[in-house]
Amino acid sequence: MRANDTTQYIIEVNELTKQFGTFTAVDHISFNVKRGEIFGFLGANGAGKTTAMRMLCGLSYPTSGSGTVAGFDVVKEGEKIKRHIGYMSQRFSLYDDLTVMENMELFGGIYGVKSKPLRDRATSMLERLNFLGEKDTLVGSLPLGWKQKLAFVVATIHQPDIVFLDEPTGGVDPITRRQFWEMIYEASSQSTTIFVTTHYMDEAEYCHRVSMMVDGKIKALDSPQNLKRQFEATSMDEVFRTLARGAQRGD
Amino acid sequence: MRGFIKFVKKETLHILRDSRTMLIALLMPVVQILLFGFAISTEVNNVNVAVVVPKWSEDIRQSVNKLAANPYITYKGAIAEHDIDRFLRSGQADAIVFFAHDYDNIIQQWKTNAAGKPSMQFIMDASNTNVAQAGAGYLGNILAGELQQSANLVETHMLFNPQMKSAFNFVPGIMGMVFILICAILTSVSIVREKETGTMDVLLVSPVRPLSIILAKLVPYFALSCINLASILLLAHYMLEIPLTGNLGSIIIVSLVYLVLSLSLGLLVSTVAKTQVVALLVSAAVMLMPIVMLSGMMFPIENMPAVLQPVSAIVPARWYIEAMRKLMIQGAPFGLIMKDFIILVFMTLGLLAIALKNFKDKLQ
């Protein structure tokens, strides 16, 4: 299943730009993401994170520039990209009126996973989470933390090369966030690439590498340690404040 | 294709688990048919009538007896001339029949010359115009009927609906409304709900083609509407005794086209609306109001101001209801509704094209 195993980079982006009329939402960004890496995509609201991510997911065409995701061209092969990625939205979007198992079967089925292996995989994933007993529970009656974990499981049920996580830890308590990051590490150790946007600067510390976006441009990109050294900061929060000081857009 | 079936199953589960909505969707047509068929009616019954008779005669006595025996009339007795105003004002009578002083002579003159003075006067309480109009009609038929027939003036036949049942008129209107409600409103709300909860994003990132997401959504609502079509036709035929003679096929074909049209409308609304509340409001304002007001369901199109008549032509329900009236009540052959049918087909194709184009544009 793994496409294009020969390159080291699973995401390569070169001068990617998106304009809406005269407004440049994403302004010539270039970066690479390694296979199995946890890549943090940071920025204030309105910095262009979501637009950039939509282009990488094949949902939106770039105005100019180029890039590949899982070996496929973001301009021409959006549909192929969709087969090789997973996506978890910030609202942990699942169907509240379907059961845990029905959600997993629906989303697995969408990605063409056959019924038998799908069932086995779903069962083993739930077992690992000690959640098999709740497989026939309606998702709507689950607590938020469980919905979050389930949304991650559903996003990875078809064993994608890359998972895009759009602010995946909003609204949950610190312990649940910690547990969630353990799940991310586990997926990463099985060579799934994690592309995560977040507001929480302490979470940025968990990433292998972090990019900081300000006003549509990538202002910094390195490991958290190197960034802190470069900006002579003690925390990622401080790095971000330094970078975002000159921002024109957002809040 | 497998993905498509999974989606249809998912949509069906959504509907089945939302038992309240399903109950409303299935019961609403039944309740409306029963309401309009039996409870709400534009027929005027029990017109309260009192008579003023200055001088009784055998002819007058017979006329009054006929009046009192009529099922649409409630006879309130004979009153004095100076009580007329009080009776009408207090609501004890809706109508007064005032016989002429020389009634017998006048009738005699009419019979010999076929001309003469009025023999009686109807004084109506016109504060309720429906009752006044219908009441005057009843009184004219009952009291002047014999006279007119003897003078061989007019003979009236009520074709297609000899008992003038208002339910006959309402059933096509209810069909026009129910299908819009179920297909258009429920569909648009269900699509917009996925935008609101964010599941639409997840679906759009997946390899499923957006068109199949939408088509899969339409399937269960289409099925639900077919059940409704069946229940409406059964009720109309067996409870309201609408004949439906010989053209059931035409009724079903035209209705199916109208179902697709309603689904396209729902799809169109869902591409415009961002939240479920907006979807509901847009549906109600843009679809329900024009149907009730402009489709001819309640108010005859011919009576509308000249400005509104062309507006009513763009309300799809107008053509559907018109076609249904001809098919269900007159038993007209398919050829006679060809115009309505062609207009409906073109409207459907147009709406579907706009909806799908809009839907695709929104994705970019």
Tokens of B14: 């959504």
Percent of chain A at pLDDT above 90? 60
Confidence (pLDDT) at B136? 87
Q: Enumerate long-range contacts of B65-73, CB under 8 Å, 24 or more apart.
A: B66/B142, B66/B143, B67/B97, B67/B139, B67/B142, B67/B143, B70/B138, B70/B142, B71/B45, B72/B44, B72/B45, B72/B46, B72/B47, B72/B138, B73/B46, B73/B47, B73/B49, B73/B138, B73/B139, B73/B142
Q: Does B360 touch chain A (CB under 8 A)?
A: no
pLDDT for the residue B40: 67
Order of strands, sheet of B95-99, starting from the edge strand that comes earlier in the sequence = B73-78, B47-52, B95-99, B120-124
What are the b/e assignments for B195-231, b being 16+ CB within 10 Å? bbbbbbbbbbbbbbeeeebbbbbbbbbbebbeebbeb
Residue that the structure tokens 């004095």 belong to:
B80
Which of B202, B276, B360 is the best residue to mutate to test the A interface, defined by the most A CB atoms within 10 Å of its own CB? B202
Domain boundaries, chain B: 2-40+165-363, 47-151
Report CB contact under 8 Å: A93, B201. Answer: yes
Q: Which residues of A touch B2 (CB under 8 A)?
A: 109, 112
The CATH homologous superfamily of the domain defined by B47-151 = abc type-2 transporter like domain (3.40.1710.10)
pLDDT score recorded for residue B38: 74
pLDDT value, residue A136? 94
| Distance separating alpha carbons of residues B118 and A174, to the nearest angstrom | 95
Touching check for B208 and chain A: CB below 8 Å? yes
- Taking CB atoms and an 8 Å cutoff, what residues of chain B touch A57? 205
CB nearest B207 (choices: A59, A79, A93): A79
| Contact with chain A for residue B207, Cβ under 8 A | yes
Between B13, B206, B364, which is nearest A111 by CB? B206
Residue A29 · residue A52 · CB < 8 Å: yes
Tell whether the model's pLDDT for residue A2 goes beyond 50: no
Q: What is the mean pLDDT of each run of 10 residues along chain B (364 residues)?
A: 81 89 86 78 81 89 89 89 89 89 83 78 87 86 64 62 72 85 84 88 87 86 91 88 80 93 89 87 82 81 84 90 88 88 94 85 64
Over the stretch B33-56, which tens digit does the pLDDT of each residue have? 888 777 666 677 888 999 999 888
The predicted structure's pLDDT at residue B24 = 84
Residue A131 is given by DSSP the state -
Instruction: Inform me whether the pLDDT recorded for A7 exceeds 70.
Output: no
Q: Confirm if A42 and A210 have CB atoms less than 8 A apart.
A: yes
* Vertex A206: Cα angle to A84 and A170 (nearest 5): 75
- Optimal mutation site among A19, A77, A106, A138, interface B, most CBs of chain B within 10 A: A106
C-alpha distance from B338 to closest chain A C-alpha (Å): 43
- CB-based contact (8 Å) between B154 and chain A? no
The residue type at B141:
N
Please report, for residues A174, B33, B74, B246, the alpha-carbon distance to residue B88 in angstroms, rounded to integers and kept in the order given.
79, 35, 14, 49
Q: How far is CA A102 from CA A10, A105, B212, B219, in A?
A: 31, 5, 19, 19
- Quick one: which H or E segment has residue B147? helix B129-151
Nearest to B202 by CA among A113, A87, A45, A117: A87
Yes or no, beta carbons of B206 and A112 under 8 Å apart: no
Helix, strand or coil, per DSSP, at residue B78 = strand
Amino acid (1-letter code) at residue A37: E
Confidence of residue A3 (pLDDT cuts 50, 70, 90): very low
pLDDT tens-digit map of A45-72: 788 888 899 899 988 889 999 999 999 9
CA distance B287 to B238: 30
Domains in chain A, CATH or no CATH each: 9-100+137-244 (3.40.50.300)
- The string of DSSP codes covering B199-215 is HHHHHHHSSS-HHHHHH
How many residues would you count in chain A? 251
B316 in Cβ contact with B287 (< 8 Å) = no
Give the confidence band of A97 by pLDDT, cuts at 50, 70, 90.
very high
For A116, the 3-state DSSP assignment is: helix
pLDDT value of residue B359: 78
Structure tokens at A1: 């299943």
Interface mutation target, options A85, A93, A157, chain B, most CBs of B under 10 Å: A93
Chain A to chain B, count of Cβ pairs less than 8 Å apart? 64
Tokens 């998702």: give the residue: A139
CA distance to partner chain A, nearest, from residue B275 (Å)? 16
Q: Name the minimum distance, in Å, from the CA of B193 to any CA of chain A.
A: 11
- The answer to whether the CB atoms of A107 and B202 lie below 8 A apart is yes
What residue of A is the nearest CA neighbor of B202? A87
- For A89, the closest of B198, B363, B364 (CB atoms) is B198
Q: Closest by alpha carbon to A155, among A183, A116, A115? A: A183
**Cα of B258 to nearest chain A Cα, Å:** 30
pLDDT at A1: 42
CA nearest to A91 within chain B: B198
